[in-house]
Structures are given as C-alpha cells and as structure tokens.
Amino acid sequence: MPSPKKKPALGRGLGSLMGEAQSETGYTAADTEMSIEQIKPNPNQPRTHFNESQLEELSESIRENGVLQPLLVRKSGKGYEIIAGERRYQASKIAGLEKVPVIIKEVDDQKMLELALIENLQRSDLNPIEEAKGYKQLIKASGMTQEALSKAVSKSRSAITNSLRLLDLPEVVQQMMYDGKLTAGHARAILAVPFEDARIKLAEKVVAEGLSVRATENLAPLFSVGDTPKVPRPVTPQSYKKAARALRQVFNTNVKVRSTRGKNKIEIEFKDEDDLQRILGSMIELD
C-alpha cells in the first residue's frame, strides 16, 4: 500500500527556491556571482539584531572558505534585494568581499516576507521577542493558522502559542528580554501575574537580584495578591457641578457638591473665623 503523500508546508518554499541539491549535499549551486554593491538588505528584515561576535566568526569563516551557501535575491530597481541570507551578506561585507554567490528568483512582496521570516525563525539563535514578533508578523502576512505555522517552522503548536504570549508582556519587560536580562522561562513566570504594574515590578526585582526562574515562579503569587483593580469613581452629575459653580460665585470661595458613601454633601471652604462670618453674612442676605 503506497504511503500517503505529505502535505507541503510553507517552510518548504525556501527549500524549493534554493533547489533540491541543498537537501542532498548541504550546498546549492549559485546562478552567478554578483558585486556586493549591487545588493541591498530586505527593508522588512524580521531580525532586528545581529550578534556582532557571531558575525565576526562568520566573516572569518568566509575569509577562509568563501560563501558556501549563496544569497537568495530578487531584482529590485537597478539592483537586487535580499530574500534570504542577510547574515551572510553582512559577514561578507565585514570580510571585505567584492562579490558574493547569488541565486536570483522572482517573488512578490508577500512571498519575500514569508521566506525571510521562515529563514530567521528556523534559526536557533533568535531573541525570544524577535521570534515572537516574527511569528505574529508571519501569521498576519500569510493568514496562516498556528497549526500551519508550527509545521512551516518545525516547531510544536504549544511552542508557537507560548512564544506569542510573550507579546502580552509590558513593553519595558519585553525590552528586558530583548536585552538578554530575562529568559523565556522568567517571562512565562511573570505572565502568571495578572496586572501590568505588578508584572513590571516583578521583572525589575528579578533583574536587580539576578533571580532564577524557580525563584520567579515562587514570587509570582505574592505579586498577584496586592494589585487588585481600583473601583472607578462615580461620575458627578452635571446638576451638582452647576450648583457648585453658582455657590462659588455667591460665596467667593471654593464649593464642592458631591456624594460620599451614599450621602449628598455641600462643602464650603473658608480661611479663618472672619471668612466664616463673611460667608454666613452672605447666607443671611440670601435668606
């Protein structure tokens, strides 16, 4: 009985563009060599941070062995735009190369974004926040479900879900993760705290004291207790505001008309005894 055909995942798109030779040999033949000056980065590059030491290591390898895997590019204006291979491009510039091997393909903007995202998401050195933003961007760009995305990037659906949850953290906490001060484990513990202010306080404590993930998990319930949402103040009726304004004009002092604990009150301010007598006089004149 023939085995059922495997459905193609979007992640195969990059492989099909690069050619089947890559899957068999780990190397893909280039279409041509191109001046590095003709190539420009993808303006929608999902990766926002490149590790400088890793780029330097890659550039040293390129100096010794050349660029083993061609850059994937497309025609753009008078030059060419990178579809996949941004790190190799950056490292080649550091290595001082004048030309790099390329494969030229015709793809539209959406497909280019999908391929650039998938190339980055399949790497293991992505920052957790970059990874989460990449998933979100890919879902938005392609309309994929989390299930389809998990197949495209060879990750479990729960891993995708947990990654996307990191974007529920306050921006300041996301920045701590981006800077490498918090791990994804810390972040998941912080997400157990229901309120934003408390999440920030817990994250700051973790960073300041260098706490472990386990210690963060133990602290999370304590930061969840005190931060209960405040009951909103009742809206003051317009009639109360109008009455307060009229009384302020009559008595020439600050007057408040409000409800407190179920009781309605008129509060009239006075500076001293003389001012009190002046206000009383005004009341008697009104009578």
How many CB atoms sit inside 10 A of residue 273's CB?
8
Please name every residue paired with 102 in a beta bridge, in sequence order, or none if there are none. 32, 71
DSSP bridge pairs for 80 = 39, 75
Number of other CB atoms surrounding residue 206 within 10 Å:
24
Q: 131 an active-site residue?
A: no
129, with CB counted inside 10 A (0-12, 13-18, 19+), is: buried
Task: Name the DSSP letter for residue 234.
Answer: P
Question: Which member of 20, 56, 86, 147 is catalytic?
Answer: 86
Strands (E), the chain: 32-35, 39-40, 71-76, 79-84, 99-104, 255-260, 263-268
Catalytic residues: 86
